[in-house]
Structure 1
Amino acid sequence: MSVKDIRDAISSNTRYFSKEDLCSLERILDTATAKETEEMRQRSNVDKELASRKKERGNTEYKGGNYLEAIESYTEAIAADPFDEVLYSNRAAAYAMLKVNDQGIDDCLTAVKLNPTFAKAYIRLGDFYAETDHDTAHKYYKKAQLLEPDNRNVENEEVVKFMSSESFKNIVGSISRGELNVSEKLKGLGLE
């Protein structure tokens, strides 16, 4: 029975588990998935050395602001080692810089499929959704926080992204134009 089969069985029967049990099971299954991926990597014909060189070239191009070249290098690295989640995550970061969100999201989803415990990919997914779908962004940031509870960047990422969103800018604009009475809103929420 595969990890996917176990996940499907649990998903179909969540009413039988407490929230804590579901969280524990999810962590266990995430670890098992990461181990399965590592085993597949070891059995397959990957060239880790070539992948590492291409990744380093991609990192250099990325740092230099050459995002298309970085994407090309990361793509070559992925061809050499298609089981390395970091390569997909790095390419997603380059896609993000070019505002090519669909491909970036796909790469992040591939990264978490390969290693469901890879928090950075969840953070990047949150970043991709931060301006367009706050609920989805929040879900991914929370997943990253669950995986790395001591990572203060997870909280900071969510706050920074919200503050740069159009929603936040509209609220600030309404307040500055006097169109939104903050104290009245707080009273209405019982937060005065």
Structure 2
Amino acid sequence: MSFETIYKELITKKNFFDANEFEEILKKIKTAENKEIESLSGKKTDQKTNSAKIQVNKKAEEHKDKGNEYFKKKDYQEAIFSYSCAIEEDKSNPVYYSNRAAAYACMNMADNGIDDCLKAIDLDPTYVKAYIRLGDFYSTSDPKKALDFYNKGLKYDEKNLSLKKKISSLEFMKNSGDVDSGLGGKNFEELFKDPKMMQMASEYLKNMDKKDLNNFKDLFNKK
């Protein structure tokens, strides 16, 4: 029943009330009507706000998709620009920061990439990809720190094979000697007398890619 109908019904029963009672009832109905109007107005405002947010997110996604296209083409500078545009549209999405970090990595801009990864984690502490990228940034300069980030990522995705591989790679280097000093000067045969080390080396070498191979060579060449 609308308020207009209530008013009409009330007027037909006007003679049942004295003047003061009738006036008081009208005030209460008017108050209820105003609250209803405010409520409906608020809902419309919320709908407009939500619609605006969806529109903003749509723009952000378009910029992100462009960034992904540039990234595939190895045009990392344009990718960074597109991801930055996505961030301007929506600063709350950790994916945009993580994607830009990947582009920064390809431009050898580690500091910028690390900042973006940390921002992504600040927005979503369970965002595994950001931990992986942080580990990658530190894998050469600070292997211990890299291992820490990889392990944090694994805590949120225990079945992540890529993470397990990266961890086993750094664990192998850590257990085969000081990760900061390498194996220069150590007896190669003595190193692999330990069956556990042999097993670790086997697993490590089996899944080795080009980057791993370079790290492995560096491990034995450090002085």
Is the TM value for this pair above 0.5?
yes
The Cα offsets for residues 86-135 of structure 1, whole Å up to 9 and x where unpaired, read as 00000000000011000000000000000000000000000000000011
**Equivalent in the alignment of 1:66:** 75
Letter in 2 for 1:181: N
Partner of 2:190: 184
Percentage of identical aligned residues: 38
| 1:119 paired residue among 124, 128, 133 | 128
Alignment of 1:129-148 (within 5 A): 129-148=138-157
- For 1:137 and 1:84, the matched residues in 2 are separated by 24
Structure 2: runs of 5 or more not aligned: 1-49, 174-178, 199-223
Q: How does 1:22-41 map to 2 (within 5 A)?
A: none
- C-alpha change, 1:99 and 1:158, in structure 2 (3 Å) is farther
Aligned equivalents of 2:197, 2:107: Cα separation in 1: 41
Measure, in 1, the Cα distance between the counterparts of 2:193 and 2:169. Answer: 26
Question: Kindly tell me: are residues 60 and 116 of structure 1, through their superposed partners in 2, closer, same or farther at Cα, counting changes over 3 Å?
Answer: same
> What TM-score do you get using the length of structure 1 for normalisation?
0.65
What count of residue pairs does the alignment treat as equivalent?
142
Q: Does structure 1 residue 107 correspond to structure 2 residue 121?
A: no
- RCO (CA 8 Å, sep 6+): is it higher in 1 or 2? 1
Q: Could you tell me whether the CA contact under 8 Å between 2:147 and 2:170 is conserved in 1? A: no
Query: What residue is the counterpart of 2:21 in the other structure?
Result: none
* Equivalent residue, structure 2, for 1:5: none
CA contact (8 A) 1:84 1:114 kept: yes
TM-align CA RMSD: 3.1
Q: Which residue of 2 aligns with 1:88?
A: 97
Distance of 1:163 and 1:48 partners within structure 2: 43
CA contact (8 A) 1:130 1:162 kept: no
In structure 1, the residue matched to 2:61 is 52
Q: Unmatched 5+ residue regions in structure 1?
A: 1-41
Partners of 2:104 and 2:112 within 8 A in 1: yes
Distance across 1 between alignment mates of 2:193 and 2:170: 27
TM-aligned CA distance change 1:185 to 1:146, over 3 Å: same
